[in-house]
Amino acid sequence: MPIHLNIIDAVSDPGKFGRANEDRAGYNNHAAFVLDGATGLGDQQFMDGYGSDAAWMAEFAMERLTRDWQAGIDIRELVRRISTDAREVFFATAGEQPRYAWPLAAFAALNAVDGGVTFTGLGDSAVYLLHDDGRSEFLAARPDAFEREQTAARAHLERIGGMGGASSIVNDPTTLADLRKSREGQNTPGGRGWSFGLVPEVADHLTSQEIAMSGGATAIICSDGLVDLVALYHAYDAGSLIRRAATAGLKSLIAELRRFEREIDPNALQYPRFKQSDDTTALLLRIEKT
């Protein structure tokens, strides 16, 4: 029985006015996905016209996935080709750079295939799924990433005493050095995980999971900004998050998220994080068997 992915709503909101939105979302007849460019840790920007190298990486991957991820395509080989091409383009402009300056992005997707649905992911973008029979699911390539980031952010915030009115603690020298060290280990064997970027071998580390479908379902595909409503602020669980989006729209969730970030805890002491507000992108969709 064929599966159809029908987009109901979409939103992409930058974390800070005037700063590049490093998230992207895309979809076609067979797949829907979100990409979350990782905050750059280099000393300069190399790819002009996008606001940041991370935004360029997310845009590059989004355009290729939207165009080329068609029925029957091996997503691992497609990710390998996109990563190879992105590497060539970036190095042709930037030359050799330390690994912490290489742009990368988290990735989460749903793909209709052979009468079913598959989750595919890299990094900390995620999918929330509410089946029509009431079952709910949370899917992410690195489900432990959210707790790990909160723990790391808490340690840095306790050391410096909060954000102190800044929008990010990344510019603190010790914090930046630690983040760079962690980023150096990204996309390396035995490192801190794999993300969409300039390393073709990342294709071998894609998380892929077939979703058992007994009927229809409603899903949210999102960057980790929206995940914070569940994993950090504990305002929702998977099911209630989707129900809220389906009845009030994704923009209502963005408004709640920004209230936590900018009004309830602007200094990040109650809810530890590296940035006051994060870029947030989400797709709300129906999965139907027809």
pLDDT, position 1: 62
150-181 burial code (b ≥16 CB/10 A, e <16): bebbeebbeeeeebeeebbbbebeebeeebbe
Supply the mean pLDDT for the chain: 94
DSSP string, 124-155: T-EEEEEETTS-EEEEES-TTHHHHHHHHHHH
Q: What is the pLDDT of residue 90?
A: 98
The pLDDT-based confidence of 2 (bands split at 50, 70, 90) is confident
pLDDT at 3: 82
Is the predicted pLDDT of residue 58 greater than 90, yes or no?
Answer: yes
**What would the two tokens of residue 51 be?**
């606001």
pLDDT tens digits for range 215-248: 999 999 999 999 999 999 999 999 999 999 999 9
166: pLDDT strictly greater than 80: no
Higher pLDDT, residue 290 or 36: 36
Mean pLDDT of 181-198: 91
At 93-118, the pLDDT tens digits run: 999 999 999 999 999 999 998 778 99
Q: Which domains does the chain have, with CATH numbers?
A: 3-289 (3.60.40.10)
